[in-house]
Amino acid sequence: MDIIPSAPVRVWGFPLEGFNAATLYNTWLVMLVILVAAVLATRYLRAVPGRLQAAFELLAEFFDGLCKSTLGDEYGRKFMPFITTLFLFVMVSNFVGIIPNFLVALGWPGFYCPTQDLNTPVGLALVVLFVVHISAIRIKGFRSWFWSFYEPSFPGGGTVMRALGVVLFAGGALLSYVFIRKYMGAFAGMAPAQRVALGLLLGLFVANAALLTTYGVKMGRVPNVLMAPLNFVGEIGKAISHPFRLFGNIFGGFVILVVAVNIVYQMGLPPILRGLLGSAVTAVIGTFLIFFFGLFIGLVHAFVFAMLALAYAAVQIRD
């Protein structure tokens, strides 16, 4: 059993250099399986549900209860489809790796878990990050969302905030002066993309100062500017730890399976039986371990990934 799928240059005659064909093909397979199962489960809804309809109803009720208990009745129902879809996609992606590769002759690159490729968990985590923060802006408003990065704030009148605004603007002007005075030559030698990035950075600093001053005067509070970098890094840390946890567990799980199969084969069988049975025993042992641990690991870590996404949403929305 391979641990990481290879990235062939051509598959079925199409050039795929630079892409992991196994990840692409199996990701589309996962989406197709979920789509077909959803259509079959909802095509003929009955008062006395069949097995597939009952399974989907049980899954929907389970996640509906979790989302409502975490986010409340109003927002829990809105987030339930998103969290449930995340769970289904990750679970089916984790289960794909246990399918024997019987389509090699047709050019199929192999049945591999898309979550074994780091790009898939990172893409899912970015989607979660985007959905959570956009939802927080829509629910709490931009001002509350923006101000949350400067919590815990302190009570203060308009005079204190105006003084802080003057300090922030003075700092921005000083940085701009130092940059223009000393580094204009270096700026001229930069690539266009670097100039744009640096200009946006200075612009964001000035806009940040303006927003803090305006909101602080209206709210009568002083933002904790020392906490802003820590809160920002904390959000970036969530976006990093979320996909790496899934990738590490799935990748590590299959590594452990490979090691376990070889240990059982080498240490659990006498040399005579190993010589007589050979690869047949390895195949049987490997298939049993892959099905047992693959299903267990895939289900558990799909649930963990979905629950972490729900927890991130709760922190932002109910903060």
Q: What count of other Cβ atoms lies within 10 Å of the Cβ of residue 136?
A: 21
Give the residue carrying structure tokens 């047949």.
280
Q: Is 6 a residue whose pLDDT tops 80?
A: no
Taking the model in full, what pTM does it have?
0.75
Of the candidates 296, 318, 306, the residue with the CA atom closest to the CA atom of residue 80: 306
Q: How far apart are CA 229 and CA 168, in angstroms?
A: 15
The answer to whether the Cα torsion of 283, 288, 291, 292 is positive or negative is negative
Q: pLDDT exceeding 70 applies to what percent of the chain?
A: 64
Q: Is 2 a residue whose pLDDT tops 50?
A: no
Of the candidates 250, 264, 299, 313, the residue with the CA atom closest to the CA atom of residue 88: 299
Q: Is 4 a residue whose pLDDT tops 60?
A: no
Q: How far apart are CA 268 and CA 136, in angstroms?
A: 55
The pLDDT-based confidence of 3 (bands split at 50, 70, 90) is very low
Contact 93, 113 (CB under 8 A): yes
Contact 45, 28 (CB under 8 A): no
| Token output for 220 | 């009568």
Contact 96, 254 (CB under 8 A): no
Which of left, alpha, beta for 107 (phi over 0: left; psi -120 to 50: alpha)?
left
Q: Considering only CA atoms, give the Rg of the chain.
A: 27
Q: How far apart are CA 226 and CA 230, in angstroms?
A: 8
Give the residue carrying structure tokens 């659990």.
268
> For the segment 137-182, what is each residue's pLDDT rounded down to a tens digit?
888 888 888 888 887 776 765 566 666 666 666 666 666 666 665 6
Secondary structure element (H or E) that encloses residue 219, with its range: helix 192-219
* Mean pLDDT, residues 26-42 taken together: 88
Helix (H, G, I), strand (E, B) or coil at 15: strand
Residue 306: its pLDDT value, please?
A: 92
CA angle 3, 84, 75 (to 5 degrees): 140
